[in-house]
Amino acid sequence: MRFRAVLVENEEGSLARLRRMLGAFPEDVEIVGEATDGPSAVERIRLLAPDLVFLDIDLPGFSGFQVLERLDRQPAVIFTTAFNQHALEAFKTHAIDYLLKPIESEGIARALQKLNAMGFNHSQFSRALERLLAASGSRYLARISCKMGDRTILVKTGEVLYFQADNKYVAVHTATNEYLTDTPLVELIDRLDPRDFVRIHRSTLVGVAWISEIRRAFDGKLNVVLRDPKNTVLAASRSYADNLRNL
């Protein structure tokens, strides 16, 4: 089988090396997309729906594991990593292959042979990846359960611009909609990856990836400008200003 593949590496040099080495396997792999950070990887994979992803674990933005958590449709995955052998023992038990850096052609050949021998089955890979994510100790929310009229909507955390506490509910703002969740803000803070969200006010939690700039207002306070169609501006309180300075 010829796999449509997306390549995800944290450095352009590693990406070029992997691309060059996969050129030796034209009957097995067709490269349809590339990315060098977590957010771009999620975007490319969602858009292109590849059969296979060569996925680095240590990525800017968020990790390879967090990339997988943000996908609705799970492709087959071959991890590329500099982790040592012992750290990857858990991966073996879940039928997910990996290549240790520096990657060699022999390793790619073995991984592709293994995937072909397994047969291509999306549900099989989805179950394996679910077990892998559980084994990796990931404890952060990938989706938020929200109310919209009489419906319950599952909103991906990566789509959330900011959360804002409002009486007994928390408003969940995305680029296109506003939802409500009854999960308290203090609980959300504990259950969301601190690398992805920053608290700027007692009642406001902002998605770091959506911040385009931080401005100082005339009164000395900081304002956060978001990367959304409205260029939303949120005020930061002095109590949480250090959180922004530490980004």
Q: List the CATH number of the domain containing 119.
A: 3.40.50.2300
Based on the structure, what is the number of domains in the chain?
Answer: 2
Once rounded to an integer, what is the mean pLDDT over residues 11-19?
92
Q: Which pTM was predicted?
A: 0.54
Once rounded to an integer, what is the mean pLDDT over residues 153-174?
90
Tell whether 9 and 110 lie within a shared domain: yes
Query: Taking Cα atoms as reference points, which of 44, 90, 94 lies closest to residue 67?
Result: 44
Structure tokens at 59: 């990525």
Range of the domain at 199: 143-245
Residue 35 has pLDDT above 90, yes or no: yes
Tell whether 191 and 219 lie within a shared domain: yes
Tell whether 147 and 212 lie within a shared domain: yes
Q: In what order do the strands lie in the sheet with 222-226?
A: 211-216, 222-226, 233-235
User: What's residue 95's pLDDT?
Assistant: 44
Tell whether 18 and 131 lie within a shared domain: yes
Once rounded to an integer, what is the mean pLDDT over residues 186-215?
92
Alpha helices (H) along the chain: 12-22, 38-48, 64-69, 89-92, 105-118, 122-135, 185-191, 241-245
Tell whether 185 and 230 lie within a shared domain: yes
Residue 14 has pLDDT above 60, yes or no: yes
Contact call for residues 100 and 85 (beta carbons, < 8 A): yes
Among 65-79, 90-104, 195-209, the range with the most confident prediction by mean pLDDT is: 195-209
* Mean per-residue pLDDT over the chain, rounded: 84
Cβ atoms within 10 Å of 91's Cβ, excluding its own: 20
Tell whether 9 and 129 lie within a shared domain: yes
User: What's residue 15's pLDDT?
Assistant: 93
Tell whether 51 and 121 lie within a shared domain: yes
Last residue of a domain, one of 102, 135, 168: 135
Tell whether 128 and 171 lie within a shared domain: no
Q: What is the tens place of the pLDDT at every residue in 130-144?
A: 666 655 555 677 778
Tell whether 190 and 82 lie within a shared domain: no
User: What's residue 143's pLDDT?
Assistant: 78
User: What's residue 39's pLDDT?
Assistant: 87
Tell whether 209 and 226 lie within a shared domain: yes
Beta strand spans in the chain (E)? 3-8, 29-35, 52-56, 76-81, 97-100, 143-148, 151-156, 160-166, 169-174, 178-181, 197-201, 204-207, 211-216, 222-226, 233-235
Once rounded to an integer, what is the mean pLDDT over residues 26-51?
93
CATH code of the domain covering residue 185:
2.40.50.1020
Tell whether 35 and 112 lie within a shared domain: yes
